[in-house]
Structure 1
Amino acid sequence: ARHRRMLTPAFHFDILKPYMKIFNQSTDIMHAKWRRLTTAGPTSIDMFEHISLMTLDSLQKCVFSYNSNCQEKPSDYIASILLLSSLVTRRPHKLYNHIDWIYYLTSDGRRFRHACEVVHHFTADVIQKRRMALRDLGQNASLKPKQEKTLDFIDVLLMAKDEEGCHLSDEDIAAEADTFMFEGHDTTASGLSWVLYNLAQHPHYQDQCREEIQELLHDRDIEEIEWEDLSQMPFTTMCIKESLRLHPAVTAISRSCNEDVKLPSGQIIPKGVICLISIYGTHHNPAVWPEPEIYNPHRFDPAASKQQSPLAFVPFSAGPRNCIGQNFAMAELKVTLALTLLRFVVRLDKSQTVRRKPELILRAENGLWLQVEPLPAEP
C-alpha cells in the first residue's frame, strides 16, 4: 500500500502527456518496417512479434529514457525480457521445477538466471547513474518535466517520498521498474494485436474508426496523435474496449479474502482463502454480457454502458489493486491504433487459423498473422 501511494504520481496526467511523443515515434518506426515489408503488395505480419518490440521500445524510453533501437537491431536487454516471459510461463508445467535448486540445475533454470542478471544489471546501472545526477541537481530536482528531457519513471521513483519523508530504496525502485517493463509491454501488445484482429474481422467497424481518425487529423500538417485527441475518438475507444472484453490481455487475477465472503448461493468463502477470479470468464458470461462471443462495440456506447455493473468489464482489474498503468496503456493503445488505421488497411490472413492461447497474457497459437496493406497517399 505504501508503494502504491508513492507510485501514483508516476501516472499523473502531467507525467503521461510528454510520453505521447514517444508513443508516436515508436509507432512510426514500426510502420516504417511495415512499409518496407509491403513494397511488393499486401503482406502477412505476425502482430505479436512486431507490436511487442514496439511497446518494449516505448517502455524503455518512458521508464529509463533509453533508446536501444530494439525495433531495428537486437538488444540483449530486450532479448532477456522476452526470454524471461517465456520461461516463467513454462516453469510451472513440470513438478520438479517448483523446487528452486532443482530448477536452477536445468537448462531453462540456467538461462533464467543469466537473463535475470542481464535485466537486473541494466536496471541497477540506470538507477545508480540517475541517483548521482539527481544528487548533483540537489534542491532543484522536482516532479516537473525538464524542457530538454521527458521526466521518466526512474526520475519519479527516485524523487518519491512517503508520508514520513522516506524514499524508496534502490532495490524497491529496480523491482518497480522491472515490473513495469514486464507488465507494460506484453499486455499492451496483446490488447493492440487483438483489436487489430477484431477490426480485420469486421471491416465496416475498421472503416468507421478510420473515418473518425481522418476527420480528427484532416487539417494537420503532421500525422501525430496529441494528448487532447485521446478524448476525441469515441468510436475507436468503444472498439478498443469491446476488444478488451472479448480478448482481455490478462485472463485471470487472484485475491486473498481478508474477511469471510458470502456468495449469493449462501456458501461462504472463508477468510484467508486465495481466490482465482476469471476476467475472461466474466467477460464471456452470457448472464453478464448477452451474446458474449459477438464483437459489438456499441455495448460501450456511454448510454448503454450506464446500465452495466462497474465490475462487468474489468480488463485492468478493479479495486485498490487495479492496474496502476491503465491510463498509460489506453493512451498507447489509442495512439498506435489511430496511426495504424490512418496508414494501413488490416485484413484477415485466411491461410492462418487463430486460436487463443492463455499464457502470462492472452496470446494466439503460432502468432497472430494479419494481412497489412498501405493506404494510398491522398493527393
Structure 2
Amino acid sequence: MPSPVSLMTLDSLQKCVFSYNSNCQETPSDYIAAILELSSLVVRRQHRLLLHWDFLYHLTADGRRFRRTCDTVHRFTADVVQRRHQALDRLGREAWLKSKQGKTVDFIDILLLAKDEDGQDLSEEDIAAEADTFMFEGHDTTAIGLSWVLYNLACHPEYQKRYGCSNCSMPFSTMCIKESLRLHPPVMAVSRRCTEDIKLPDGHVLPKDTRNICLISIYGTHHNPAVWPEPQVYNPHRFDPENSKNQPPLAFMNCIGQNFAMAEMKVVLALTLLRFAVHLDESRPVRRKPELILRSENGLWLHLDPLGPSCESRPPHRAPRAIHSPLLREI
C-alpha cells in the first residue's frame, strides 16, 4: 500500500514530466500500480543472491511479474512520446515551439528539443528511457526525503516554528531540508566504475578496471565526524552559507534531480507547516530501515495540530490534539 506522500510526489511528477493528470491520489491506475510493484520487486531481488543472474531471475514468478510490469511502464511512456512526436512532426519545429509560447514546457518537450553530441534529435527510445528513469527514481526518493524532514522538524519544534512562519527566509528552508538529507539521505549509497586509477588518502590505489564496481557510501560520508562534527545532531545551521563555505565539495551528496526535488519539497513543506504544527507520535518508535532507499521500519507517524491564522499561534511545546494522521506511512 503506497503512502499518501508517495502518491502525492508521483502525481506531481506525472504532471511535470508528461503533463498528465494521473489523479493517482484518488483513482488507481495500471501505470501507477506497475511503478509501485517494480519498486517492491527490485528490493526483493537485491536480497536473493541467486536471482542476481538474469537467466535465473526471469524463470521465477517475480521475474515474470517484473517483465510484465516493465512492459506496462514502457507502453505508457512510449505512447506519450509517440503522440508528442507526431504533434511535433505535424506542425514542424518552429510552429510547434510557437504553440508552446506562454505555456508550460514539460520534461518530454525538453527531451524532444534536445540534441545529442552529433547534433541529432534523440530517438524515441532514448527519450522514453530518460522519462522512465526520471519517473521511477524521482517520486519515491522525494517522498522519503519529505517524510524525514517533517520527522526531524517534529523532533525540533524550535526550527519548525521558524520554518512555518510566513516570513521565514528561503535560505533557512533550504538549510532545514539539506540537514535532513544529510542526516537521513534517501539514497544511502551509489555505485561507480573506475575509468581511471584513483589514489586514496592512505596511499592505496583503486586500479582502472571497468569490470569492477565501487560502492560509495553517502550515509557514511554524511555521518563522518571528521567532516561533520556531532553527525547525529540535527542542526540546519551547518548549511548556513557562512558555515559551509569551507566544506569539501563532496561532503554533502545529492542527486542529479536535486533542483526539481528541492523545489517540490519547499512547496510541500511550506504549505504543510503554515497550516499545521507537526508532532511525533511517541507510541510509535522510529527505527531506520535501509533498503533501496532509507525508510523507517514501521513508517513515520505524526500528529497534525491545525494552526491559527498567524505563525505566532504555533504551539511548539503543546501536547498534540487528537488529530492522528498516517501522513508519512511509507510503502
Q: TM-score, normalised by structure 1?
A: 0.77
CA distance in 2, matches of 1:262, 1:102: 37
Matched, 1:107 2:45: no
- Aligned equivalent of 2:206: 269
The amino acid of 1:338's aligned partner reads A
- Aligned equivalent of 1:97: 51
CA distance in 2, matches of 1:373, 1:293: 27
Matched, 1:313 2:245: no
Matched, 1:366 2:305: no
- Aligned equivalent of 1:146: 101
- Aligned equivalent of 1:77: 31
The amino acid of 2:33's aligned partner reads A
1:235 to 152, 165, 172: 172
TM superposition shift of 1:129: 0.8
TM superposition shift of 1:160: 1.2
- Aligned equivalent of 1:166: 120
- Aligned equivalent of 1:287: 226
- Aligned equivalent of 2:136: 182
TM superposition shift of 1:104: 2.5
SS of match in other structure, 2:201: coil
- Aligned equivalent of 2:329: none
CA distance in 2, matches of 1:233, 1:242: 14
Report how many aligned residue pairs link the two structures.
308
SS of match in other structure, 1:373: strand
CA distance in 2, matches of 1:142, 1:132: 14
CA distance in 1, matches of 2:233, 2:98: 45
| Cα root mean square deviation, aligned | 1.9
- Aligned equivalent of 1:302: 241
1:349 to 267, 281, 295: 281
Structure 1 unaligned segments of length 5 or more: list them.
Answer: 1-45, 217-231, 317-322
- Aligned equivalent of 2:154: 200
The structure-2 alpha-carbon separation of the partners of 1:129 and 1:282, relative to structure 1 and needing over 3 Å to count, comes to: same
- Aligned equivalent of 2:12: 58
Structure 2 unaligned segments of length 5 or more: list them.
Answer: 314-331
TM superposition shift of 1:371: 1.6
1:38-57 superposed matches below 5 A: 49-57=3-11
SS of match in other structure, 1:70: coil
The structure-2 alpha-carbon separation of the partners of 1:63 and 1:143, relative to structure 1 and needing over 3 Å to count, comes to: farther
Residues 223-247 of structure 1: per-residue CA shift (max 9 Å, x gap): xxxxxxxxx4121211111101101
CA contact (8 A) 1:97 1:103 kept: yes
CA distance in 2, matches of 1:119, 1:259: 36
The amino acid of 1:174's aligned partner reads A
CA distance in 1, matches of 2:95, 2:199: 53
SS of match in other structure, 2:277: strand
SS of match in other structure, 1:338: helix
TM superposition shift of 1:301: 1.1
TM superposition shift of 1:163: 4.2
Q: TM-score, normalised by structure 2?
A: 0.88
Higher helix share: 1
TM superposition shift of 1:210: 1.0
Identical aligned pairs, as a percentage?
69
SS of match in other structure, 1:215: coil
Residues 322-351 of structure 1: per-residue CA shift (max 9 Å, x gap): x1x211111111111111101111111111
CA distance in 2, matches of 1:277, 1:249: 14
1:117 to 68, 71, 74: 71
- Aligned equivalent of 2:195: 258
